[in-house]
Chain A
């Protein structure tokens, strides 16, 4: 069964005809062309598809597209405002916090959301906040350091 939905993605209104079995991730990727969120597992175990849905950090693969009707969605493509990289993105580049980069969109979303609710997180708080995101390349060390650096950068500009 198909259903027409409307949703805002990164501030832009969209409509899409979606299959009732289709996930928000499928819609974002294949109907709306937002290939930033990745599918690493399809069942909420890896976090590569992390987006912000009406202010909540979610795995887009665990949300049916029809559930997102009328929602505001932010994907990794919406993080850099007017082409300027967000301090979290900048810190990931400067601290070597990515290798293959497949998990990176999810980490950026989780890290940005963490710093918005807790601008000065401790190392254990950072590790907890990203524990739903799997990375197989970095061993997390440089990701944690990048988030620490982004926290400092944000507090200096605040």
Chain B
């Protein structure tokens, strides 16, 4: 592989100075002249028919400029879809109902109307004056209850799609999709096993917890064109949805990306932007819509919970002979849980010759789930990795050796059918063997060590970059991908090395939808990976154009032109040279004009990412409180373009997973969220945690110029089981339900409470 001087170094984030000084501009920081403030009216019922909405009292309040309901949104044919990424489409009629409910509310906090007023106090008061007449309906909250034939129906006209046959069920149901993947002969596999373990695991609804509540602003320009500012994960994705939802041509809609205060998958859909635009159209004034933290938690779309049964058998020497799993994911009020990703992620670390993997996408009267970092992966890995630990214990095989014996390798076929290209799982597991986090004895009472694996497929889809050479021989990069995680910095590093420029001489801009080249949304650990191809291609395009001009000047063929350190020369006569500065200056003085390189990719192979986490815990026997003593994350990153940023991604993801494992859960009462604040919905704080150690494995991915793999998603996958397995060794009790908070551990260690109440797991160790 080529030598690089900027790639592989921890260049400081190019956008850091404006962030440490408070100058970075996020969605809510927009303050437009004449701006109105919007406020959403939300349902106090989790399931109810809307009989009537009265807006006259709200409209009569001085300062109120508009009140809208779903009738004010343009009509949309039922089943209308819009492309989301690649060939994946989303059901826009569901999006429209989330934007504003038309005839029925299906979760507590669903939007039913919106107001725009001259200040936020008036907007809030007016929202309280919108009179909505509801007919409450029975609520179904629990995923297993929702699957029962007599459960209240979230949608009266929804029928189960059988994925294999593409047939729909006769009776309406809360199960939107049923899928089954099979391989080999599980009956024979279980018969060959020396031990079989079967358990059911439960996880709760959780929130992404981005610090910035959703914010957007819309303005109608004098020519009728809409300008929309939004802190979403993909401004082109938002535009695509708005084109369908509002019936506007893309040319009449400019979406400007603002800095985004965290997304983690939760800011991918246009759930607020349509309202801001329609209010701006009604009032002919700019409208800003910023939601409150309570609204964020109640109704913006959390991460999916699941009830997962896993059964696996192994021979005495530690070889898995068969596995079956049933994963039931709660989508909330509209179809689309990440159950298929759950099946993929949970099983991807293993060679499975005999397997049945079954998934259900289930609807309940809860907010429609949105993606959350490695969507679907965390519940699945909690279940599978805890079960594997129990199975290994049953046959007295070391948990690391058990994983090594069954680890997937290049050429194996993933559970959903795709062959694995180059992966670094084996090498990563080898690193654990000798690492002090694994070899150092853990002494003292009530302490235990746990290991769990994680996987993420890595996203692909469309990314584009333009690289321009400025007349002074500096470079400007132009992209359409929102920077969630430091991608402006890593893309700059790639271009710096390709063009052999100092990073100081490169600037990068995330442009709006009218000016930047198209890109799909930022998510799925896809940006650095796909941008590596696009930025490489754009840089090569620049170099080719420069060499053409140099060849002309040096009077040699292009093939004879060499380039290094801002200097072009003829291969056979090194004194026959021209420097970059001269070519750059001349490019806008005469000849062919400015040098603009373009690069794009629409589809790359997956760059599979594997991780393993090792956790040491101490459990207070009197209170059930878990203290993490040491936490180490191993991950095959392919190639760390910026090691500090890679570590930061891993540490942040691991801590989100730790929060999911130990603290975080939505607590519902008849569909109403009871802990809708950041005090009661407790994300980890600095005091809860040790330093998070990272160990990077670098096995290059099969595709891409630098061998890198996306790193952001996978670190959230292993913590649930790593901690559950550690808690088992500390207490002798296995936990079957997240979060493993003090109360749950206190009761579980006393053989009591709701330890996996969904399954007949019993309590205590095996």
Contacts and interface: CB of A to CB of B under 8 A. Distances in A.
Interface of A: 19, 21, 29-30, 33-43, 45-46, 48, 75-77, 79-80, 85, 89, 92-96, 98-105, 108, 124, 126-128, 130-145
B266 to A, nearest CB: 11
B494 interface: no
Given A127-B686, A141-B691, A142-B648, A100 B21 contact: no
A89 B28 CA distance: 23
20 contacts: A19-B121, A36-B23, A38-B211, A40-B261, A93-B17, A96-B12, A100-B210, A100-B484, A101-B15, A101-B20, A127-B687, A128-B687, A130-B685, A132-B685, A133-B685, A139-B654, A140-B685, A140-B686, A141-B647, A142-B647
A108 B211 contact: no
Given A38-B26, A98-B13, A89 B20 contact: yes
Given A37-B22, A103-B261, A142-B644, 17 more contacts: A21-B121, A35-B25, A35-B29, A46-B211, A46-B678, A77-B22, A93-B20, A98-B13, A100-B262, A136-B209, A136-B262, A138-B648, A139-B692, A141-B689, A141-B692, A144-B686, A145-B691
B31 A108 contact: no
Contact of A42 (B12, B211, B292): B292
Contacts of B498: none
B484 A136 contact: no
3 closest A-B pairs by beta carbon, nearest first, are: A36-B22, A102-B261, A101-B19
B16 interface: yes
A131 B19 contact: no
A85 B210 contact: no
Contacts of B725: none
A124 to B, nearest CB: 8
Given A30-B31, A140-B655, A96 B17 contact: no
Given A99-B485, A100-B262, A76 B22 contact: yes
Interface in B414-467: none
B293 A43 contact: yes
Interface in B1-36: 10, 12-13, 15-17, 19-26, 28-29, 31
A30 B30 CA distance: 10
Contacts of B23: 36, 77
A101 B261 contact: yes
Contacts of B691: 141, 144-145
A35 B259 CA distance: 13
Given A46-B678, A92-B20, A141-B651, A136 B685 contact: no
Nearest to B715: A139
Nearest to A35: B29
A107 B150 CA distance: 51
Contacts of B31: 30, 33, 35
B652 interface: yes
B25 A134 contact: no
A37 B645 CA distance: 25
Nearest to A106: B211
A50 to B, nearest CB: 11
Q: How large is the interface on B (under 10, 10 to 19, 20 to 34, 35 or more residues)?
A: 35 or more
Contacts of A76: 20-22
B211 A40 contact: yes
A99 B486 contact: yes
Contact of A104 (B19, B486, B677): B19
A102 to B, nearest CB: 3
B683 interface: yes
A40 B655 contact: no
B656 A136 contact: yes
B460 to A, nearest CB: 23
A45 B678 contact: yes
Contacts of A37: 22
Interface string B84-122: 000000000000000000000000000000000001010
Given A102-B212, A144-B686, A42 B293 contact: yes
Contacts of B649: 99
B689 A139 contact: yes
B61 to A, nearest CB: 16
Contacts of B559: none
Interface in B674-704: 677-679, 683-687, 689, 691-692
Given A38-B211, A136-B683, A141-B692, A96 B485 contact: no
Interface in B216-263: 259-262
Interface in B175-217: 208-213
Given A35-B22, A136-B211, A137-B262, A41 B683 contact: no
A139 B655 contact: yes
Interface in B474-491: 484-486
Nearest to B678: A45
A80 B16 contact: no
Contact of A102 (B15, B26, B679): B26
Q: Kindly name the residue among A34, A94, A100, A135 whose own CB sees the greatest number of chain B CB atoms within 10 A.
A: A100
Given A77-B21, A128-B687, A142-B648, A40 B16 contact: no
Interface in B631-685: 644-645, 647-649, 651-656, 677-679, 683-685
A96 B647 contact: yes
A105 B212 CA distance: 13
Contact of B293 (A19, A40, A94, A142): A40
Contact of B648 (A34, A38, A99): A99
B264 interface: yes
Interface in B256-276: 259-262, 264
A19 B121 CA distance: 9
B499 to A, nearest CB: 24
A136 B10 CA distance: 21
A138 B651 contact: yes
A38 B692 contact: no
A98 B23 CA distance: 14
A139 B651 contact: yes
Contacts of B684: 139-140
Contacts of A45: 293, 677-679
Interface in B588-632: none
A103 B26 CA distance: 12
Contacts of A38: 26, 28, 211-212, 261
B695 to A, nearest CB: 14
B644 A136 contact: no
B20 A104 contact: yes
A99 B212 contact: no
A48 B212 CA distance: 9
Contacts of A35: 22, 25, 29, 31
Contacts of A141: 647, 651, 689, 691-692
A9 to B, nearest CB: 12
Contact of A43 (B644, B647, B677, B686): B677
